[in-house]
Structure 1
Amino acid sequence: MLSKPAEIFDRDVEWAELTRFATDDRPGATLGVVSGRRRQGKTLLLYELTRATGGFYFGATEATPTESLRRLGEALGLYTDAAGPVHLTDWAAAVDALLALGRRRPVTVVIDEFPYLARASRDLPSIIQHALTPGRAERTESRTRLLLCGSALSFMGGLLAGSAPLRGRAGLELPVAPLDYRAAAAFWGIDDPLLAARLFAIVGGTPAYRREYVQDDAPSGPDDFDDWVVRAVLNPARPLFREARYLLAEDPDLRDAALYHSVLAAVAEGNGTRGGIAGYIGRKATDLQHPLTVLEDAGLLAREPDPLRSGRSRYRITEPLITFYQAVMRPAWTALERRRGTDVWRRSQRRYASAVLGPGFEETVRQWALRFAAPETFAGIVAEASAATLTDPASRTSHELDLVALGEPPPGDGPRPLLAISEVKWGRTLGRPDLDRLERARDLLSRRPGVEASATRLLLASGDGFTEDLRESAAGRDDVVLVDPERLYRGH
């Protein structure tokens, strides 16, 4: 295992997978695919990997095939200490030249921003497929570890899918996701859980937002948070100001920007169902199949099935900065461009709390249940965690549950364990009535077929804490779990 460079924060799993792939000493060229949205640190990972292994790195640009081949030939000439650039007549010759680098030893070969090349040369994936044909001498006599990397998720997601040429050829398919909320707090140097939650609700876990985009300007403490938002996020002179717009513009599959912004605005306003989105933007629900699919493929929307209502699902924005932009910045864009960020932020406090911080806190609690809660907390390992709607047939009312945690399906046709249901509130102190409501919901669920609710925990999570009455009621009860920001960030 190669030592991870100090410049790379976290990413232990990704580095381990990459080094395992790159140092594989078996004969035969192999292919890997690395994907993830921009600014997650993919290039740093791959560049440091090539440095650590003595490999070859090529960063593609938007260019004609002829120019790209010339640039690649120049880079190969420098890497191999040739007398001059390597002449590459076409992409078939180029791929064979890359495979030839690994004739004597395993050589890491990275092609970064691969979609630029593949969109200009549509047959490139098929050429790579042919080059990696089993039994072909150029493959069997090589130990090149070829890594294709790209930020266009819709393109990269289809590279190995279905009937795509490269399906079945890759030995590594590595997504590089944003940092989780705990890692993000450590990356920003934030020790206060409340401050970390408020910050994460805006910038999420994208590493570049901490470095290049704000030039290492982080809130110095809770009292500096409001000033930081104005100077770092709502400031037209900072790159973070327009970043949410650029996230849409970067993906070439997102052609109708106005429609996609409207869809995201609808979701940011709390309209998570297809019908709710359609009503908000003034379209028929049947017209939304394509834009919703495109936004999902681009990694900007996630569709989460309702575990208690078959066939129902809700959409959630995956990038916190987009939620913040749609809820706070977009409605006041003209004022922000005129540098009235302080006024806009002061007027937006309620909107920030309800449309950004509240939903963000709910998602953080779900991630805590999935990733950090100890198995004994829920008497089992959480396999799925999402919001759900519970219908009460007797009173014809609905209960909105902020978290429904399910365990692994049991063998056979037995009922699936329902590990927990939850009430999550950022700006309200939870009390005994909230526990009573969850107890009623659990009672309803215990009568439903298909779930096992006898050991279901009742989870209450709040950014403002809990009443003394609730704490006394929860004391000594294994079935009641109280979660505050301190436990979210440091406990299990």
Structure 2
Amino acid sequence: MGKSFLLRALAEVSGGLYVSAVAEEGVIAARRRFAADIARYAGIGPELFADADWESLLTTALDLTARQGRGLLVIDELPYWMAHSPQIPGLLQLLYDRSQAGQGPGGRVLICGSAMSVMNELLSGTKALRGRAAIDLRLRPFDLPTTAEHWGIVDPAAAFRVHAILGGSPGYRNLANVSPPQSVAELEGWAAATVLDARQALYSGSEAEYLLREDPRFTGSALHYAIINAVANGATSPAKIGALLEQSRSAMGRPIEALVSAGYLRYESDPLWERRPVISVVDPIVRFHNLITVPQRDLVETGRSAEAWRRSRPTFVSRVLGPHFEECARAWLRAHPRLSGDASQVTATVVNDRTGQAKHEIDVVAFDKRSGRAVIGLIGEAKATVVKRGTADLDRLENMKELLTRQGHDTSRSTLAIFSMEGFHADLLAAAGRRDDVLLVDLPTLFGQGGPAGG
């Protein structure tokens, strides 16, 4: 995500002290490294702090940075220190309380870590730092326009496919050894030279295991690896995950909750009907790894990456591009709330048609719940197919609107929206232009290149 890059820059511009913990480093080595950073910051020899304990080191660092006026102490990758020195949050609490009482140095402390399971708990319950943090910030992946700018990709179609493979994490850009694709035609060569080249850093034999290594609480946990892989392959509930792993549903509860808390899995609820939430993988690269890389591993590892990509193209379109386009459509609508009547919730849902004994999936629905009844601001479809969308899609949305009305929801002001990766036929554009309740959103619009069509 670029956390360390931003923190170093912040410390530099504010005259602060930046220190970073090191994985698998013992307590003595860690304190000596911290002492050396303090000495370098103060412009003195490290021998003065060589044998200091944690409390003395933290006090000295705060005192020195506070003298800089806008004093700032940045501690990066704190969970690595906590692995061998769990008392550090308590010491920070002690120093904070002393400062508030005027009995110790002031200044500011910014702590950071990649292990979300550890960072999430620092301010929870009865933990030492609860109530003492001014801000709790989680860096999010880049959205579509920022990803395209970061990679230097002008073509929305190419940029969207890169985003579908790697997501919006900016750090992957530095791992690519070839220029980014500037068209869909160039994507095949780019993928074969990066994510499907066993010699390259973007290729991973087990992406879930690689990501979990960043979190000390999951290191070596084969069950957690297996759960992520099961979800990436389509298991969306504890029962389905347990069935794939030959485990009981009840045995899945705690490890799934831990992975959700750590940011590796997410619950996507359907609050329209208050059904049980669907479990999905947060990182697109994990989905790509399980659906594309693993099935084609023999071809990839024998140097036939181009063939691996050709064979996996149908899966890429249906199981990677399709779900990712739906997610991006919902994210875009959340960023433009006025288009859905300022609805408070945007999600996907399934509507039961009892008359026809069928279930209908709705890719995008925006609504407010009022006294058990939904006031629906928008009903939409998001299609990543290779064909343009036409009036048949609008007719289907009309049917979904009528069905929701029969089931007691307020659709009197609902907008009908069609999100299309390949654009729209002329008849649909003409029909939308004659109405004030239709919204057409293409791929360039998702990238901020123009606005939606429709009345």
- TM above 0.5, yes or no, is yes
Name the residue aligned to 2:112. Answer: 149
Equivalent pair of 2:154/2:182 in contact (CA under 8 Å): no
Name the residue aligned to 1:28. Answer: none
Name the residue aligned to 2:258. Answer: 294
Name the residue aligned to 1:91. Answer: 54
Aligned counterpart in structure 2 of residue 259 of structure 1, from 217, 220, 223: 223
Name the residue aligned to 2:2. Answer: 41
For residues 299 and 356 of structure 2, the distance between their equivalents in structure 1, rounded to whole angstroms, comes to 47
Aligned counterpart in structure 1 of residue 192 of structure 2, from 212, 223, 230: 230
CA 279–57 in structure 1, closer or farther in 2 if over 3 Å, else same: same
Equivalent pair of 1:110/1:148 in contact (CA under 8 Å): yes
Equivalent pair of 1:308/1:390 in contact (CA under 8 Å): no
Name the residue aligned to 1:431. Answer: 390
Aligned counterpart in structure 1 of residue 16 of structure 2, from 38, 55, 62: 55
Name the residue aligned to 1:441. Answer: 400
Residues 452-467 of structure 1 aligned to structure 2 (within 5 Å): 452-467=410-425
CA 416–163 in structure 1, closer or farther in 2 if over 3 Å, else same: farther
Name the residue aligned to 1:421. Answer: 379
Aligned counterpart in structure 2 of residue 163 of structure 1, from 126, 136, 140: 126
Residues 112-261 of structure 1 aligned to structure 2 (within 5 Å): 112-133=76-97, 141-211=104-174, 213-215=175-177, 217-242=179-204, 244=207, 245-255=209-219, 257-261=221-225
Q: Aligned to 1:142, what secondary structure does the other structure show? A: coil
What displacement does 1:249 show? 2.8
Q: Aligned to 1:168, what secondary structure does the other structure show? A: coil
Q: What whole-Å deviation, never above 9, does each CA across 1:163-199 have from its counterpart, x for those lacking one?
A: 2111111112111111111100111111111111111
For residues 302 and 129 of structure 1, the distance between their equivalents in structure 2, rounded to whole angstroms, comes to 31
Query: CA RMSD of the aligned region, Å?
Result: 2.2
Of structures 1 and 2, the one with the larger relative CO (CA 8 A, separation 6+) is: 1
For residues 249 and 69 of structure 1, the distance between their equivalents in structure 2, rounded to whole angstroms, comes to 23
Equivalent pair of 2:364/2:380 in contact (CA under 8 Å): yes
Is 1:485 matched with 2:437? no
Equivalent pair of 1:431/1:466 in contact (CA under 8 Å): yes
What displacement does 1:343 show? 1.6
What displacement does 1:94 show? 1.9
Q: What whole-Å deviation, never above 9, does each CA across 1:340-389 have from its counterpart, x for those lacking one?
A: 21121111001111111111111111111011x361x33x2243222111
What displacement does 1:329 show? 0.6
Is 1:341 matched with 2:305? yes
Equivalent pair of 2:21/2:81 in contact (CA under 8 Å): yes
For residues 281 and 424 of structure 1, the distance between their equivalents in structure 2, rounded to whole angstroms, comes to 32
Equivalent pair of 2:98/2:104 in contact (CA under 8 Å): no
For residues 310 and 197 of structure 1, the distance between their equivalents in structure 2, rounded to whole angstroms, comes to 32
What displacement does 1:231 show? 0.4
Q: Aligned to 2:37, what secondary structure does the other structure show? A: helix
What displacement does 1:201 show? 0.4
Equivalent pair of 1:386/1:402 in contact (CA under 8 Å): yes
Name the residue aligned to 1:14. Answer: none
Name the residue aligned to 1:15. Answer: none
Q: What whole-Å deviation, never above 9, does each CA across 1:206-245 have from its counterpart, x for those lacking one?
A: 111112x014621143321100000011111210102824
Equivalent pair of 1:57/1:109 in contact (CA under 8 Å): yes
For residues 198 and 418 of structure 2, the distance between their equivalents in structure 1, rounded to whole angstroms, comes to 39
What displacement does 1:257 show? 4.8
Q: Aligned to 1:175, what secondary structure does the other structure show? A: coil
Q: What whole-Å deviation, never above 9, does each CA across 1:393-445 have from its counterpart, x for those lacking one?
A: 333321111111225x66xx484532112211111433333222221221222
Name the residue aligned to 2:430. Answer: 472
What displacement does 1:159 show? 0.8
Count the aligned residue pairs: 444
Name the residue aligned to 1:304. Answer: 268
For residues 414 and 289 of structure 1, the distance between their equivalents in structure 2, rounded to whole angstroms, comes to 29
What displacement does 1:336 show? 1.7
Q: Aligned to 2:328, what secondary structure does the other structure show? A: helix
What displacement does 1:96 show? 1.5
For residues 158 and 83 of structure 1, the distance between their equivalents in structure 2, rounded to whole angstroms, comes to 37
Equivalent pair of 2:178/2:193 in contact (CA under 8 Å): no
For residues 207 and 98 of structure 1, the distance between their equivalents in structure 2, rounded to whole angstroms, comes to 31
What displacement does 1:258 show? 4.1
Aligned counterpart in structure 1 of residue 326 of structure 2, from 348, 358, 362: 362
2:52 is matched by which residue type in structure 1? T
Q: What whole-Å deviation, never above 9, does each CA across 1:122-164 have from its counterpart, x for those lacking one?
A: 1211111112115665x66533211111000111111111221
1:294 is matched by which residue type in structure 2? A
Q: Which moved more, 1:273-282 or 1:56-65?
A: 273-282
Q: Aligned to 1:483, what secondary structure does the other structure show? A: strand
CA 69–182 in structure 1, closer or farther in 2 if over 3 Å, else same: same
TM-score, structure 2 as length reference = 0.91
1:341 is matched by which residue type in structure 2? S
Equivalent pair of 1:438/1:458 in contact (CA under 8 Å): yes
Q: Aligned to 1:133, what secondary structure does the other structure show? A: helix
1:385 is matched by which residue type in structure 2? V
Equivalent pair of 2:155/2:182 in contact (CA under 8 Å): no
2:163 is matched by which residue type in structure 1? F
For residues 461 and 276 of structure 1, the distance between their equivalents in structure 2, rounded to whole angstroms, comes to 30
Q: Aligned to 1:191, what secondary structure does the other structure show? A: coil
Q: Which runs of 5 or more residues in structure 1 are unaligned?
A: 1-39
For residues 235 and 453 of structure 1, the distance between their equivalents in structure 2, rounded to whole angstroms, comes to 50
Q: Which runs of 5 or more residues in structure 2 are unaligned?
A: none
Equivalent pair of 1:387/1:403 in contact (CA under 8 Å): yes
